[in-house]
Amino acid sequence: MEHPILPLDLPLKGNASPKGEEWKVAKHVPTAEELAPRRARRPDAQPFDEVHIITVPRYKESWASGNEWRISACLQLKLKGKVMLERNFRRVEDAVVALPYLHRFKGAGSYITEDDTCDQESCAEPASVVYRLKAEFDDNGHKTDPYQFFKGPLIRKFCSLHKGRGDCGLEDAKRNYELVEN
């Protein structure tokens, strides 16, 4: 098949080739992954809702230096009661100093839980309501279309206690949700 070479000064109108033939544009067919529901992170979501630093005693036995009780510290960062990150340190002070580093190390992608618990922070109750987001908003209040690139519903799940959403926010306001299932 011969492909036409288009001169730069040739004005094309509509969807026609230089020979006047109609060109067909292939339409994108969404994949199953693009149509699958996606879980939306709540605005101002925190990666953890509990921080525990626990003193852990242990008995050290050594034939060379003798036996004694020692302590270490265990730092746990939790989300909805589930340990998301755990690190051991020599002292409690070391765990406190490391906390800002560990918070950044965990990363922003870990805020969203893919289980069937409520999306309200620190609530581990089973979700009973699923809402579809109509729009997303950035930190400056600018509205964006969450369906521009992925057609699958952007959802949030809430328990019966937290299913009623407020009206003063933008993204987490009841006017920005459609009920998917109850």
- Residue 111 CB contacts under 8 Å (≥ 6 apart), including other chains: 41, 45, 46, 47
Q: Is residue 134 part of a domain?
A: yes
Q: pLDDT at position 28, please?
A: 67
Q: pLDDT at position 104, please?
A: 66
pTM score over 0.85? no
> Is the torsion defined by CA of 73, 76, 81, 84 positive or negative?
negative
Q: Is residue 21 part of a domain?
A: no
Spatial CA neighbour of 154 closest among 129, 174, 180: 180
Q: Is residue 3 part of a domain?
A: no
In the chain, the number of structural domains is 1
- Please state the rounded mean pLDDT for residues 24-49: 73
Q: Is the pLDDT at 93 greater than 90, yes or no? A: yes
Least confident of 40-49, 55-64, 149-158, 170-179: 40-49
Spatial CA neighbour of 146 closest among 40, 43, 42: 40
Q: Is residue 130 part of a domain?
A: yes
Domain that holds residue 60: 38-181
pLDDT-derived band at 126 (thresholds 50, 70, 90) equals very high
Q: Is residue 17 part of a domain?
A: no
Q: pLDDT at position 162, please?
A: 93
Residue 53 half-sphere exposure toward CB, CA atoms < 13 A:
14
DSSP state of 60: E
Q: Is residue 84 part of a domain?
A: yes
Q: Is residue 23 part of a domain?
A: no
Task: Output the furthest CA–CA distance in the chain (Å, rounded).
Answer: 95
Q: pLDDT at position 158, please?
A: 92
Q: Is residue 43 part of a domain?
A: yes
Q: pLDDT at position 108, please?
A: 44
Least confident of 35-44, 75-84, 93-102: 35-44
- Please state the rounded mean pLDDT for residues 149-171: 87
